[in-house]
Structure 1
């Protein structure tokens, strides 16, 4: 296990968030600290997050997507990154286009242009086997883009659902990854403030879908800790 230091990051940081809220839960502490240190942090929200409450009569998918984009902006502001760049790719939540589809080629092309222009020193991505289809597909998408652009970025992977929903085969095998930790005394407080901006995911805003998704207190306690953990393959 090694410590990730801000001084080791020499250029821009690219954050790949499959949904609005993954940026806060996965690496919000690092986003906040890097921004405070004057580093450029560009966050890409891959999907529109519109499938969290499929059966809500008052919150159709387009309304949820708009709400989640507003929440993402508010969360970045709470992280101190309100003036940092962000991109909303708006791919369909839980139905990202797969390789071979035109939508996938378009997504690769647009993200590749961003990567070429940004030239990130560090890319933060969801763990390749995190147990959500969008997390795995987001990892696959940025991995394809990095290979295509041949930009030598350091890639660190963060987990969201692995410890809660992962199967044994989803976890790293011995020798597969090196673990890095990032610690800062403000991580817990700043992530709590930022996650509060994602009201649609906390069970307090959309209340007419009994089967709708919400982050439980146990999940929040698990993900909002004084130390963030990243894996380098």
Structure 2
């Protein structure tokens, strides 16, 4: 997305522009909510906005060959990291929902897709969010696009019209970033998170399985690079709203 090549020129807004409670934050994997929206979450909670977080996948493909952390233990580890990170940002564990969909297969997991949509409908009906933070619909990662599609499908089944705010993750990687259709009109802006950026950084560090060598027995295991992490340690976050 070309806006990310020079984000400093994007308009800068304050949390007052989006402080409509309740709020739902949707994360394709455990850590996306903190990377993309950690500052917004902390600021919303500082205003006593009710924030719920829905984590779509179990995150078990980050280190698929680890013997120290087989899938069930890795799933538990990543959930515990999410709970720790979000507690720093002001979210209690009771306000975190783990859907547990297979990592890497959100967009193709047909056998339980209906159940996933039903689960999303149930959560949306319970929360009745005024605002939903979703992964960017054109994110290079298929799980991110799949998460957007699941929530969008669920919303189409309900009479809810929340404000949809989308956040980029892998578009920050110039090698993966893709162009968007010319017909898509977007409003791209930055949220000022300067007062909570240090708190967000601490929350990101809670994801030790993704940022350190905690899991050291899978040579192909995933780890966020310093270059990628630098994009999420800025005093602002980038958000996208699609017009029309």
TM-score (norm 2): 0.89
**Deviation of residue 216 (structure 1)?**
1.1
User: 1:217–1:59: structure 2 CA closer, same or farther, 3 Å change rule?
Assistant: same
What's 2:55 paired with? 45
| Matched residue SS, 2:69 | coil
Match of 2:90 among 55, 73, 80: 80
The answer on 1:177 being equivalent to 2:186 is yes
Match of 1:32 among 37, 42, 59: 42
Match of 1:16 among 26, 38, 45: 26
| Matched residue SS, 2:194 | coil
What's 1:59 paired with? 69
Kindly indicate whether the alpha-carbon contact (under 8 Å) linking 1:74 and 1:82 is maintained by their aligned counterparts in 2: no
What's 1:3 paired with? 13
RMSD (Å), alpha carbons: 1.8
Unaligned 5+ residue runs, structure 1? none
What's 2:3 paired with? none
CA distance in 2, matches of 1:211, 1:11: 41
Give CA-to-partner distance per residue, 1:7-56, whole Å, 9 cap, x none: 64332000000011101100000000101110000000000000001111
TM-score (norm 1): 0.93
**Large movers: runs of 4+ above 6 Å:** none
**Deviation of residue 84 (structure 1)?**
6.1
User: 1:148–1:42: structure 2 CA closer, same or farther, 3 Å change rule?
Assistant: same
